[in-house]
Amino acid sequence: MKAIVGEIKENKKALVIGAGIAGLAIALRLKSKGYEVTVIEANAYPGGKISNLELNGYRFDTGPSLLTMPHLIDELFSLFNENPKDFFNYRNKDTICNYFWEDGTRFSAAADKEEFINDLLSTFQVSKYEIENYLEKNKQKYELTSGVFLEKSLHKISTYLSATTLKAVLNFYKLDTNRSLNATNKKSFRDQKLVQLFNRFATYNGSSPYKTPGIMSMIPHLEMQLGTFTPKGGMKEIALSLYALALKKGVQFKFNEEVTKITIAKKAITGLISSKGRYEASLVVSNSDIFTSYSSLLKDDLSPKKIVQQERSSSAIIFYWGIRKQFPELDLHNILFSSDYEGEFDLLFNQQLISSDPTVYINISSKEESADAPEGSENWFVMINTPANFNQDWDALIVEAKKNIISKINSIFKIDLEPLIECESILDPRTIESKTKSHRGSLYGASSNSKFAAFLRHPNFTSKIKGLYFCGGSVHPGGGIPLSLLSSKIVSDLIDK
């Protein structure tokens, strides 16, 4: 009897590679199932891309800046009958985003649906029917596909044998998979600024609105109809709260320790080797970028070349600026649009260059957390989309990008910004790649510039190796906090089966 009990206990050991948001989530899900879980992380901190920077009295969230679907975070606390509010708190935003164009047009997107529609009617050439019809179609797309494309593995036959999938198939004509997001939006609206506003949601998965399919118009539904939120204490609290829960429940963490090899015998997981030793387990979940998982950790295994060599998603250059002034016209999320949006994306994906007139995103967390900046000042997280890292001259590109960004800000707000920049730090595709092991610094793994993108993403498992699973933004269902959390849920369900 003792031998049998010991064998069962041994089989309940699980190893998680990486303490990114999906790694933390799968560690908690496995712990809730009775596994003895160890998370091994190369960095000195949990959270992966969700990190933190303090500079001259300013605090910056250095990675993702938008929180949607926070119930996916709350759910992890509920697994242990813990009150999420004892660990993690957030509030709903009344204003989703402020938009600016160089001709002086400004639009503040309200979270309230009726207010949002009325403001659209007074700002753009659009009818109430057009906007209500568009929002309803987005809702339908989400409701038809979320149970299939976002919550289940697309690489298991059982997924296609459900009533949910059958309903999606029967309504496939409603999903706009045969036209681009831009074509879908142009069909819906005659006002080009409104088309541009809704085209920008392609960047939520690092893609081009001129290539990604129209089904992606369901992304605004997550933001505009399900809500946007801001965490108390900043985005870093998402990772830190999950880490605190994991520690409380007995998950073991090994920081400053890099995994060098996943060990396999007879096509089954036996554990892994790190820079500090060897670990044995029959279950390994990699939260590392899928390219890195194969190229560095599974060198002896046959790599699925068609999947790991897909077109990379966009990357970014981010300037963290301490600004010695406050701007009441700006909110937490702000977009300054390019005058040539299509040209910007042509350069990004077809020429791997940066536009001289880039769309600029400005996140100012001190609008919500006053302690993030000194009194009378603001902490600006200023980002532009860039190509992935293909050894461009990034030093020169950064200098040029900064000049063009400041020029755009000065033009729109009629100011002289540069003397107001009190301190600066910069993140670019090279440092994104080195800090997060994201192949070529892409923020979302593979792009979604294909109607087959959802099916081409690497699955959350491999049929070649028993006990090996994958989670995070570089595998199904995609990048960003909500999808990364859903990837861990899919892995958990696969392990159950």
pLDDT, tens only, 238-288: 999 999 999 999 999 999 999 999 999 999 999 999 999 999 999 999 999
pLDDT at 123 over 90: yes
Q: Which percentage of the chain shows pLDDT scores above 70?
A: 89
**Other CB atoms within 10 Å distance of the CB of residue 171:** 14
pLDDT at 6 over 50: no
pLDDT at 231 over 90: yes
pLDDT at 5: 35
Using DSSP's 3-state secondary structure scheme, residue 60 falls into strand
The model's pTM is 0.92
Confidence at 125, pLDDT banded by 50, 70, 90: very high
pLDDT at 150: 65
What are 311-324's pLDDT values in tens digits?
889 999 999 999 99
For the chain, which domains are there?
Answer: 2-48+69-90+234-311+458-496 (3.50.50.60), 130-189+199-224 (no CATH)
Which residues on neighbouring strands pair with residue 316, listed in sequence order?
A: 385
How many whole angstroms separate alpha carbon 313 and alpha carbon 46?
24
DSSP notation for 179-234: SBHHHHHHHH-S-HHHHHHHHGGGGGGT--TTTSBGGGGGHHIIIIIS--EEETT-
pLDDT at 447: 85
Q: List CB contacts of 51: < 8 A, sequence separation 6 or more.
A: 45, 61, 62, 63, 236
Alpha helices in 330-474 (DSSP H): 341-346, 394-413, 429-436, 453-456
- Tokens 């009441």: give the residue: 328
What are 367-397's pLDDT values in tens digits?
999 999 999 999 999 999 999 999 999 999 9
How many whole angstroms separate alpha carbon 201 and alpha carbon 228?
14
Per-residue pLDDT, averaged over 181-196, amounts to 97
How many whole angstroms separate alpha carbon 194 and alpha carbon 93?
22
Contact 51, 20 (CB under 8 A): no
Cα dihedral 73, 38, 245, 89 sign: negative
How many whole angstroms separate alpha carbon 130 and alpha carbon 436?
42
Q: Which of 435, 443, 477 is nearest to 460 (CA)?
A: 477
DSSP structural state of residue 64: -
pLDDT at 306 over 70: no
Confidence at 142, pLDDT banded by 50, 70, 90: confident
pLDDT at 157 over 70: no
pLDDT at 172 over 70: no
